[in-house]
Amino acid sequence: MALMAANKEQMMGKMQQDLLPIGCTFTPADLYRAAEPLIKLAVKEDAPKRQLVDSRLIVDLDMKGEARILANAQGILAGGWIVPLIAHSYDPKLEVLVHFRDGSAVKAGDLLVTIKGHVASIVTAERIFLNFLTRMCGIATLTNRCVQACAGTLAVVTDTRKTLPGYRVLDKYSVQAGGGKNHRMHLCDGVMIKDNHISAMHKITIAQMVERVRTALRKQRRYVPIWVEIDRLEQLPQALDGRPDVILLDNMSLQQLRTAVQMRNDWFAQMKIDAPRPTPLLEASGGVDLSNIGDVARTGVDRIAVGALTHSAPGLDLTLELIAEGIGPL
């Protein structure tokens, strides 16, 4: 991958070419819009008075050198494209070389990013580089491990809306880098009939609720997925009769999930529904993590929503190693 100056135009062009994971649904413009205000906030938060920053008081301001961001553990890269954007926020003359496409598997010792330019600028930005990268790589790595645990099944691993406020695009992008899929991005991206809705509207059936939503969406000429959340198997027949896109099985045991899959498949047979991936899909949710996701996948559900991907992923261990001109590693 070619060395590039850290400016918006070059960076967005580079993202389009070879830094984003294959099949990514986010555009460079989407990512830039999401990242720019977060980077500005992070820079202001970390260095509100640039003239008092330690590196500018200690390091010769004309000294140039090279920094290398290295992986200290095995994982999945996510966020390589954000490093030049951060670098540009500190020093437009910094040059950044990203060595892997996002979504790539990396191992301890791999060189992920090279940054060249003024040492004082690089060292000032060090923590911000690593804060973004460790979080994004951590989400991608946990997602990939969950996807691998579901290998050999039809289950698709998805995230939830349990994201860090303000970071939703970056969090969900990182899930894609790890091989997972995104649940709805926001409340307007789909309609979910949840347990509280069902309790409030107990005078009508779940199927009638689905039809009410479907009719309202038609009037608005909006076509978004409809979910129904149930927490008891006796609610499943009503939900099936409503024909939503997805039925979410909330906090059910493995045996309950198996029973739900069998009930849904029997209903397909009864209704003579025959398609490669017929709806409603069944989605398991609640209490799923890396320790049990493989067992959940083997029940036959179509989707597994994992909140832990974005709210509990440990950061990937990374380090920034500095080399000043003519000195070697510091």
Tokens 């927490």 belong to which residue?
231
* Same structural domain, 161 and 102: no
Q: What is the mean pLDDT of the chain?
A: 91
- Residues 84-109 have a mean pLDDT of 96
Tokens of 242: 């409503």
Give residue-wise pLDDT tens across range 32-79: 999 999 999 999 998 767 665 666 666 677 889 999 999 999 999 999
Task: Please list, in sequence order, all residues whose beta carbon lies within 8 angstroms of the beta carbon of residue 63, skipping any fewer than 6 positions away.
Answer: 118, 119, 120, 324, 325
Say how far apart CA 118 and CA 141 lie, in whole Å. 32
Say yes or no: 132 and 197 in one domain.
Answer: no
pLDDT of residue 15: 56
Structure tokens at 184: 């709805």
- How many domains would you assign to the chain? 2
Task: Tell me how crowded residue 171 is: count the other CB atoms within 10 A of its CB.
Answer: 24
Q: Which residue would you say has higher pLDDT here, 52 or 321?
A: 321
Looking at the fold, whether 320 and 307 belong to one and the same domain comes out as: no
* 191, 63: one domain: no
CATH for 250: 3.20.20.70
Give the pLDDT score at 324: 64
Domain membership of residue 174 as a residue range: 149-311
Helices (H) and strands (E) in the chain, counts: 12, 14
Q: Give the model's confidence band at 330: pLDDT under 50 very low, under 70 low, under 90 confident, else very high.
A: very low
Active site residues: 127, 162, 194, 229, 250
